[in-house]
Amino acid sequence: MDTINGIVNFFGSPFFRFILVLVRVFLVILWISMAYWTYRDAKSRGAMAAYWSIVALIFPVFGWLIYLVVRPHERLEDTQERELEIRAKQAALACSGTVCPACMKPVESEFLLCPYCLKRLKKACPECQHALRLNWTICPYCQTSQ
Ligand SMILES: [Zn+2]
Ligand SMILES: [Zn+2]
């Protein structure tokens, strides 16, 4: 009986009530943090931030879980970064005017092979060492036949 009394006393004790309050405060903080996290994450991904934070507030945990499932995969910064990368590549192509036919990476017109995928692009003239197209039968620089 002593143990049962002890347990009953424990659940009725101010200490236990204090723990309950702590747990509740913790849950409220967790709930608000989830909504806040959802807001920031949705904003960074270009999703409807206000809408999703309200969903996370109305449905604690579940709203957040639903958001995790349906949120856009890419962050806005990543998308922008990738676009910048593509634009830089296009600019590089525009400058040199040539791309490797195998890997589409920019190469210069004098390259004998692609530095990225090692595809043979040109052949060197045995006489004057100019870069010649593979299907040329004569060197236009020194007239050596190939
Ligand atoms: Zn290549
Ligand atoms: Zn030549």
State pLDDT tens for residues 55-66. 888 888 888 888
Task: Report how many domains make up the chain.
Answer: 2
Rounded to an integer, the average pLDDT of 32-39 is 91
Q: How confident is the model at residue 114 (pLDDT cuts 50, 70, 90)?
A: very high
Ligand lying closest to the C-alpha of residue 119: 1
Mean pLDDT of the chain, nearest integer: 86
Which residue type occupies 99?
Answer: V
Residues 69 and 82 in one domain: no
Residues 63 and 31 in one domain: yes
Rounded to an integer, the average pLDDT of 82-91 is 82
Assess if residue 62 is contained within a domain. yes
Assess if residue 145 is contained within a domain. no
- Compute, in angstroms, the gap from residue 136 CA to the centroid of ligand 1: 21
Residues 92 and 46 in one domain: no
Residues 69 and 86 in one domain: no
Residue 82 has pLDDT above 80, yes or no: yes
Assess if residue 90 is contained within a domain. yes
Assess if residue 48 is contained within a domain. yes
Residue 108 has pLDDT above 60, yes or no: yes
Q: CA nearest 36: which of 65, 56, 58?
A: 56
Ligand lying closest to the C-alpha of residue 123: 2
Assess if residue 27 is contained within a domain. yes
- Compute, in angstroms, the gap from residue 99 CA to the centroid of ligand 1: 8
Rounded to an integer, the average pLDDT of 23-51 is 90
